Amino acid sequence: MVKRPTIIDVAKLAGVSKATVGRVVNGQHNIVSDDTRSRVMDAITQLGYERNAIAGSLRTDKTYMVALVIPDITNPFWPAVARGVQDTLEAHDYTVVTVNSEWDIAIETRYLKMVRHNRFDGVIINPTNASLTDVNNINIPLVILGSQNDYPDLDTVSSDTETAVQESLNYLYELGHRRIGLIAGLSARRKLTTRYHSYLSFLARKQLKLDESLVIYGEFSLQAGSDAMHKLLNLPEPPTAVFAANDILAIGAMQTAHALGWGIPDDISIIGMDDIFAASATSPPLSTVAKPKYDIGVNAANLLLEQLKTTSGNRQPQTYKLPCELIRRGSTAPPKHVH
């Protein structure tokens, strides 16, 4: 096995002390002559020396490592968020390590311990079920992705889901729909989701009676969307429109509607949420709510950078709730008839 070159090897080849090599590597060029710095850099190139980041972190108490903890790496919503985080932090020389909690509190807890034990400088997390105590106990800068209700003392970045759901339901109402189904995802942190609360608020405002048979809960998956649509379309009085808690559920619902011979939007209208790439490629293209995925990541990273730069303990937590946009496509239209 080839021995990895060390700072001592560089010092011997350049004819300088180990301390001088350290100054060059750490950018302290003002106290090293140009000739000496040139010899050190030549030796580094010749040997293929790379700075030991772990040793450096012990001296500076900084690793320039940040963890991004997300619940489902297979969900197409998250890559754009991760890209926003990575682009922003890499511009400040931080490396982002993305991990997947799989909606599992045990896995999430293990990753939080990993973050603390491996001296990460900060963490951005969409919590599955971590308590405020759990996240505070890691004692490093932290930003929450998602609703701030459970974490009032922490920086949070989310999208304005409640307003977006209201706008979507209002759009269906204006098209003429009165019997609107809800395919609601299951929340790991709350018994009732933001979508459900917005749905109730919409019904109350429009003086429409709640029919619990029109509300179907399930995981955020194609199969759950498909199963939910089966239940809705087999009701004695099916809905004329459906709002799904995310695009994956909506696409699963569309697949079932097609399989059962229901025309979209002739027989039933469908709206999703997130505006993942596949939403524009369905047949017909899916009406949906576009969340500012990349901007969520950028804002979260900027809040973390602000924490990392703040030395005083007087900084107040900040909350960003970013607006969404309703995208009207071919999966929605006025109801032609009621089954």
Question: Looking at 158-162, 213-217, 311-315, which range is the least confident one?
Answer: 311-315
Q: How far, in Å, CA of 4 to CA of 50, rounded?
A: 9
pLDDT in the model for residue 131: 67
Q: 8-22, 187-201, 284-298 — which is least confidently predicted?
A: 187-201
The whole-angstrom separation of Cα 117 and Cα 23 is 28
CA 257/CA 270 separation, integer angstroms: 10
| pLDDT tens digits, 84-143 | 999 999 999 899 999 999 888 888 888 888 888 888 999 999 988 776 677 777 788 999
* 62-159+293-322 and 161-291 in the same fold: yes
The residue type at 291:
K
User: What mean pLDDT comes out for the span 239-264?
Assistant: 97
Mean predicted confidence (pLDDT) in 70-91: 94
pTM above 0.85, yes or no: no
pLDDT computed for residue 169 by the predictor:
97
- pLDDT value at position 218? 87
Alpha carbons 286 and 272: distance in angstroms, whole number:
7
- Three-state DSSP state, 283: coil
CATH class of 62-159+293-322: alpha beta
pLDDT at position 58 is 42
The mean pLDDT of the chain is 88
Average pLDDT over residues 245-266: 97
pLDDT at 192: 53
- Sorted by where each begins, the domain ranges of the chain are 7-51, 62-159+293-322, 161-291
More confident residue, 54 or 25: 25
Q: How many CA atoms lie within 13 A of 278 on its CB side?
A: 15
pLDDT of residue 288: 97
> What digits encode the pLDDT tens for the residues 219-245?
889 999 999 999 999 999 999 999 999
pLDDT at position 54: 47
What's the whole-number mean pLDDT along residues 327-339?
A: 86
pLDDT surpasses 80 at 336: yes
Q: What number is the average pLDDT over the span 15-35?
A: 83
| Euclidean distance between CA atoms 79 and 68, whole angstroms | 11
Angle at 127 between CA 122 and CA 130, to 5 degrees: 95
Res. 337: pLDDT tops 70: no
Per-residue pLDDT band for 23 (boundaries 50, 70, 90) equals: confident
- Among 296, 309, 299, 297, smallest CA distance to 96 is for 297
Domain 161-291: CATH architecture, name and number where available: 3-Layer(aba) Sandwich (3.40)
pLDDT above 90 for 280: yes
Lowest-confidence segment of 13-22, 210-219, 231-240 by average pLDDT? 13-22
Give the residue-averaged pLDDT of 267-293: 96
Provide the pLDDT for residue 138: 76
Residue 315's pLDDT band (cuts 50, 70, 90): confident
- Are 248 and 239 spatial neighbours (Cβ–Cβ below 8 Å)? no
Q: Which of these ranges, 13-17, 96-100, 312-316, 323-327, has the smallest mean pLDDT? A: 312-316
